[in-house]
Amino acid sequence: MKRKMLVFILMLSFLLIVGGCSQEETDGVSMATENRYRESEIREYEGARLDPAIGPRDNSIKGVQLVDTEDYTLKVTGLVDEPIDLAYEDVLELDTYRRKITLYCVEGWDATILWEGSLLEDIFNTAGMDPKADTVIFHGVDGYTTSLPLETIVNNQLILAYRSNGLELPPEMGYPFIVVAEDKLGYKWARWVTEIQLSDESDYEGYWERRGYSNEADL
Ligand SMILES: Nc1nc2c(c(=O)[nH]1)N[C@H]1C(S)=C(S)[C@@H](COP(=O)(O)O)O[C@H]1N2
Ligand SMILES: [Mo]
């Protein structure tokens, strides 16, 4: 009797494990990944699979920030004709750009997401650029900073995104705004951006750059 029971339990466990594994993957997408997609999130673009906009982990310096756009402004400061405060809606009113771009973190993971946002250059132009500016420093609500050469932003038409995979940017990804720093490592992708500072400090070092990461941040 005892032995029969043991055999039964062993068979049952075996079936559960095998069954569990075959359920684990659909089209090479793990259940854990599958569960991270939000309802009605776009999962495919031009024949290629998109990753969920919400990542499996959070490595932000102070955790996920919750920004209320009712009392929020995006400041454009520094080497500009006139510093300005943009409301969330002001940024959304600029022309919309849509691009599928992959974010690569130094920790080894990556995420391919469909981004929609405004051209950073259009945002700078609302304040008017001082010709002396050659660097752009981004500030996040968590005190995070990082910078990019102005030339990189203009030549590559980099955007400040407010939508990912067809939905509003989630807090985890930087709501209201994330810098989509195409072809640059993840730490250049400032999230929860609250201030864009035009500067001539071309050797400025942001949070991770000061801690030894390359200022070029090339892939
Ligand atoms: N404001 C802010 N932006 C940030 C960070 C941060 O800590 N604070 N982390 C950066 C890093 S290192 C990466 S890889 C990307 C994605 O971060 P995640 O790994 O926490 O999703 O956001 C970047 N932007
Ligand atoms: Mo990162």
Nearest CA, atom 11, ligand 1: 187
> Which ligand is closest to the CA of 107, given by its number?
2
Q: Is 60 in the pocket of ligand 1 (CB under 6 A)?
A: yes
Q: Are residues 12 and 55 in the same domain?
A: no
> Which ligand is closest to the CA of 60, given by its number?
1
Q: Are residues 31 and 47 in the same domain?
A: no
Q: With cut-offs at 50, 70 and 90, classify the pLDDT of residue 21.
A: very low
Q: Are residues 47 and 13 in the same domain?
A: no
In a domain, 219, yes or no: no
Q: Are residues 30 and 59 in the same domain?
A: no
User: What is the reported pTM?
Assistant: 0.89
Residue 24 pLDDT: 47
Half-sphere exposure of 162 (CA within 13 A, CB side): 20
Q: Are residues 23 and 96 in the same domain?
A: no
Using the structure block, give the residue that is written with the tokens 């466990």: 13
CA of 198 to the centre of ligand 1 (A): 21
Nearest of 62, 83, 205, 59 to residue 140 by alpha carbon: 62
CA distance 36 to 30: 10
Number of domains in the chain: 2
pLDDT tens profile 96-105: 999 999 999 9
pLDDT tens profile 117-130: 999 999 999 999 99
Q: Are residues 47 and 19 in the same domain?
A: no
Structural domain of 76? 43-211
Q: Are residues 59 and 17 in the same domain?
A: no
Q: Are residues 92 and 186 in the same domain?
A: yes
Q: Are residues 23 and 120 in the same domain?
A: no
Q: Does pLDDT of 8 surpass 90?
A: no
pLDDT tens profile 40-84: 999 999 999 999 999 988 999 999 999 999 999 999 999 999 999
Q: Are residues 99 and 23 in the same domain?
A: no
Atom of ligand 1 nearest to the CA of 65: 1
Nearest of 68, 74, 147, 60 to residue 107 by alpha carbon: 60
Rounded to the nearest angstrom, the gap between the alpha carbon of residue 185 and the centroid of all alpha carbons in its chain is 11
Q: Are residues 15 and 56 in the same domain?
A: no
Q: Are residues 77 and 174 in the same domain?
A: yes
